[in-house]
Structure 1
């Protein structure tokens, strides 16, 4: 902000400053979101545990739910790996160039492509690099946790849809494979009752997730637009 005030109204430098501010606000907003949503997240996590607990052990519905969650776990590990590689390369490449070249390099700053432009000698170089490493670690942890949380909650919600679908499939098999008797009708009634109750739970669960994300998704979409616009303007 101080840099923006000092360079205003120069268009190029002002775009660089706005790009830096908006880029920093993206991981910061995710941290604020995670910190301020602790109570809501606790409620949603309890609902997720309860929703999984009501599923009959050994039933196709529970198996489908667990299969969905296992896929989400795989996606989460891919997200973690992706974020780790991106942020490590982001820091190691300028460090590698600094060690083996004659110039000093820093990770990306506004208006410069991927930290490949050497910096002038400055007594603040080491401090700047340390601060950049700390900020990058902060960003990596926040963004990774945010994405993994979103994937997990979406997988839980999707899994509950599959639970209802599998239960209806069981009802169809019971109604078509057996003759009508008291036991089969009772089992069908129980499964229909379960579907109705689980659908009510799913609507409530979806509403909680919607309330959690409706503000932050809009804010981050706006910030990413600003980042893209200022980055392209600076590069041009």
Structure 2
């Protein structure tokens, strides 16, 4: 009962601190795939002790890490990359079956790489979350920028819930369809496993079919859970960075409002000029400091995702190409799911990167439109500095060779279709 109460409190309770809420949500998802310490601070046990749900003598052992290792090792050998590589050797150079095997290998590599990423990034994530807390703490209370930041983080939490519901619905339907077809049809069906022979064993013969079905379902469930936590983490970090862009934009809009109000004021006295000039100085200094913080924060996130984006970018292209090649020779459910497996991560990455570039562009426009012509020389120089720094928008990239934006998404779609046309 204590573990159930802990899980509910972590997943459903929203803290006054949105960063802690996001950490609890990601941790509550990842604990089911054996990753208990996502952010490098053993926060699960600390939170449980703090809430009185367990004491320090409570054993920290959990069956999930062992189950995760067994599941991924079993799926890797029996239904995953190793088995499909054997099948690929058996069927080569048969075109249709070769593309089926390549499709399965590349599609299973994507969740496997995400799992390794979530296991190996805890200390980098700890540093990023500490910076997120630092960035939130320096925002003035009751300011328009802080309100916009909190609004952005709350929106990200809502999107995270949609991701959880979407992932659950897609994978439940995907696992139920083969069961229904097997029960009410005349043939046996399995999720995402091509070929008549299954590398190590004939997959449709008893007891191989039952074993393969169970292992495949477990592997799919674990991959879906891990992918959910991975996407929620990405949405959270992107929301934090977007929030800081919005904070600077809102602050420059406030500066424009102050200067416009001073210009249109009928009473233009020395005290008003001194007060507004001091207020503008404070806001400009805050914007310069916060933009420097944003550059460092973005560098951490870009370095975190640089390698995983590059690896998955290549694998997703292979998935899309092989999915198109197997449309006529493979099952409908397999084609749809593997296609979604390739398209959805690429869409999320490119959409998130496009939002970041758009936010940076809007910030640059706000800097230029802040009313610099009404400032003194020293203030105008600070604005020029911000304009120079904002001329190169911050962006995410796949291993440094492809910028994550809508143009990249369109180029990938065109390239995949051209490859498909060449092979057909």
Give the TM-score normalised by structure 1: 0.89
Question: Which residue, 157, 166, 170 being the options, matches 2:241?
Answer: 157
**Which digits, 9 at most, give the CA deviation of each residue in 1:85-105, with x for residues without a partner?**
110001111112333344432
How far has the Cα of 1:232 moved from its partner?
A: 2.0
The question of 1:209 aligning with 2:301 is answered yes
Aligned counterpart for 1:5 among listed residues 89, 94, 109 = 89
Alpha-carbon RMSD across the aligned residues, in angstroms, is 2.0
User: 1-side partners of 2:138 and 2:286: how far apart?
Assistant: 9
SS in 2 for 1:107: coil
What CA distance in whole angstroms lies between the structure 2 residues aligned with 1:30 and 1:103?
34
Q: CA deviation at 1:61?
A: 0.7
Q: Per-residue deviation at 1:172?
A: 2.4
Q: Does residue 192 of structure 1 match 2:287?
A: no
Identify the range of structure 1 (124-133 vs 165-174) with the bigger mean alpha-carbon deviation: 165-174
Counterpart of 2:126 in structure 1 is 42
For 1:25, the equivalent position in structure 2 comes to 109
CA distance in 1, matches of 2:303, 2:205: 50
1:12-91 matches, within 5 Å, as 12-91=96-175
- Verify the 8 A CA contact 1:111 1:234 in the aligned structure 2: no
Tell me how far apart the structure 2 counterparts of residues 120 and 202 of structure 1 sit (CA, whole Å).
Answer: 55
Whether 2:268 is the aligned partner of 1:176: answer no
Superposition deviation, residue 148 in structure 1: 1.4
Q: CA deviation at 1:209?
A: 1.2
Instruction: Give unmatched runs, 5+ long, in structure 1.
Output: 113-118
Which residue is 2:207 aligned to?
A: 123
Aligned-pair distance for 1:170? 1.9
SS of the residue corresponding to residue 105 of structure 1 reads coil
Deviation at 1:188?
2.1
Structure having the larger proportion of residues in helix: 1
What SS class does the counterpart of residue 104 from structure 1 fall into? Answer: coil
**Structure 2 CA distance for aligned equivalents of residues 223 and 120 of structure 1:** 28
| Residues 11, 57 of structure 1: alpha-carbon distance in 2 compared, 3 angstrom cutoff | same
Shift of 1:79: 1.3
Q: 1:171 to 1:153 in 2, by over 3 A?
A: same
Structure number with greater CO (CA < 8 Å, separation at least 6) is 1
Deviation at 1:181, TM superposition (A): 4.3
Structure 2 residue runs without a partner (length 5+): 1-84, 197-202, 263-267, 329-424
> What is the SS of the residue equivalent to 2:207?
coil
Corresponding residue of 1:115: none
| Partner residue of 1:219 out of 290, 307, 311 | 311
Corresponding pairs, count = 230
Cα–Cα, structure 1 residues 42 and 202, in superposed 2: closer, same or farther, change >3 Å? Answer: same
Distance 1:215 1:107 in 2: 29
- CA deviation map 1:24-73 (0-9, x unaligned): 10101111122222221111111111111111111111101111111111
- SS of aligned partner of 2:326: helix
Note if contact 1:19-1:110 (Cα within 8 Å) is conserved in structure 2.
no
Deviations, residues 188-235 of structure 1 (Å, cap 9, x unaligned): 221111111000001111111111112211221110111122222233
Q: Is the 8 A contact 1:167 1:191 kept in 2?
A: yes
Q: Detail structure 1 runs of 4+ shifted over 6 Å in the superposition.
A: none
How far is the alpha carbon of 1:14 from its aligned partner? 2.3
Q: Is 1:100–2:200 an aligned residue pair?
A: no
